[in-house]
A and B are shown apart, each in its own frame.
Chain A
Amino acid sequence: MNFGFDTALLALVKLLFVVGGGLYFLFAFVVIRQIAIMKKTLITPLEIEISILGWLHLALTASLFLYFLFGL
């Protein structure tokens, strides 16, 4: 009985993690888009470095989402 309740609770927590991770992954895409707008507004020689930061952020959120999906 207790075992069933714990399993259901963990499944619910996992669902929350996955939904949160998915939304976070979408937010990372918004960041990429916003970086593109920012780079267009002010053009500097640091464009590549700033783009790399955005893509790194996207890769990390994707990794976290996959961990939530398959690692839990």
Chain B
Amino acid sequence: MPEVFNAPKSKDKNKFNGHRHVDEYSEIMSQEKPTRNYFKAFLPKPQKTAFDTQTGEENIILLLRQHPVTLFKQVVMVIIAVILPLLSSGSFFTDFLPASYILGLNLGWYLLVFSYTLATFLTWFYSVYIISDERIIDVDFVSLLFKDVSSAKIDAIQDISSKTSGFLASIINYGTVYIQTAGEQREIQFENIPQPAKVAAILNELMLEEEREKIEGRVQ
């Protein structure tokens, strides 16, 4: 039987329209296991996850969020807000308003706390930095009502640097990755992400792979 009818060899199995699987060219990503914990801030090869502008051949390599420690201020605020009505139970409102109004005030207050917690969680959960084998995408939900999405192709990346500043950031290992691009968006920042040096190294490996694709003519 001619060679052309033979099934693809194992190494070619992971090729998607000229793309190799990330494990084949990235030493760092080959050591990372696919994750199913969707609440993490560092999700290598996330399963059953996609984004709205994802193309058919595009694969998510890494999904990042701000490190949970950046939510410390909000958590403290929620704790204070929860215990505040208990501390102020003898306030002037109790002398002035009937019991049903006080109950309404307390219910309203706790619902506000719930709303704030929900909004903070949603903003954190959906503000993601996505690294695919084609692009980097920065999805920012600044608040519940403001969305900002910017992206750049891997081959448009010109320079990558990472910065970890502060005592806590050094201990917990989180920081910001600055990505200079040749696109309309001159700089994309992955702010307060875990393991910034590792992310910068992964991006460098992706850039090298893009170069290799061009040289070997695997670019579509």
Residue numbers of A with Cβ under 8 A of B are 10, 13-14, 17, 20-21, 24, 27-28, 30-31, 34-35, 37-38, 40-46, 50, 53-54, 57, 60-61, 64, 67-68, 71-72
Q: Does any Cβ of A come within 8 Å of B115's Cβ?
A: yes
Interface residues of chain A: helix, strand, loop or mixed (majority): helix
How many A-B contacts are there with CB distance less than 8 Å?
79
| The residue from A20, A24, A30, A45 contacting B144, defined by CB atoms under 8 A apart | A30
Q: How far is the CA of A14 from the CA of B105 in the complex (A)?
A: 11
Interface residues of chain B: helix, strand, loop or mixed (majority): mixed
Q: Does any Cβ of A come within 8 Å of B147's Cβ?
A: yes
B39 CB, min distance to chain A CBs, angstroms: 8
Q: In the complex the two chains form, is B104's CB within 8 Å of A43's CB?
A: no
Instruction: Name B159-197 residues within 8 Å CB distance of A.
Output: none
Sampled A-B contacts (29; CB under 8 Å): A13-B101, A17-B101, A24-B111, A24-B115, A28-B115, A30-B144, A31-B119, A31-B144, A34-B145, A38-B141, A41-B52, A41-B126, A41-B149, A42-B51, A42-B126, A42-B128, A42-B139, A43-B51, A44-B38, A44-B48, A45-B49, A46-B38, A50-B122, A54-B118, A57-B114, A60-B114, A61-B111, A68-B104, A72-B101
B83 CB, min distance to chain A CBs, angstroms: 20
Q: Does any Cβ of A come within 8 Å of B100's Cβ?
A: yes
Q: In the complex the two chains form, is B122's CB within 8 Å of A67's CB?
A: no
Q: How far is the CA of A40 from the CA of B126 in the complex (A)?
A: 10
Q: In the complex the two chains form, is B107's CB within 8 Å of A67's CB?
A: yes
Q: In the complex the two chains form, is B122's CB within 8 Å of A38's CB?
A: yes
Q: In the complex the two chains form, is B122's CB within 8 Å of A34's CB?
A: yes
Given contacts A42-B126, A50-B125, A72-B104, 9 further A-B contacts (CB under 8 A): A30-B144, A35-B122, A41-B139, A42-B50, A45-B38, A45-B49, A53-B118, A71-B100, A72-B100
The answer to whether residues A41 and B98 also contact, given A21-B108, A30-B145 and a CB cut-off of 8 A, is: no
Residue of B nearest to A28 (CB): B115
Instruction: Name B70-106 residues within 8 Å CB distance of A.
Output: 97-98, 100-101, 104
List the B side residues contacting A72 at CB < 8 Å: 100-101, 104
Q: How far is the CA of A47 from the CA of B71 in the complex (A)?
A: 22
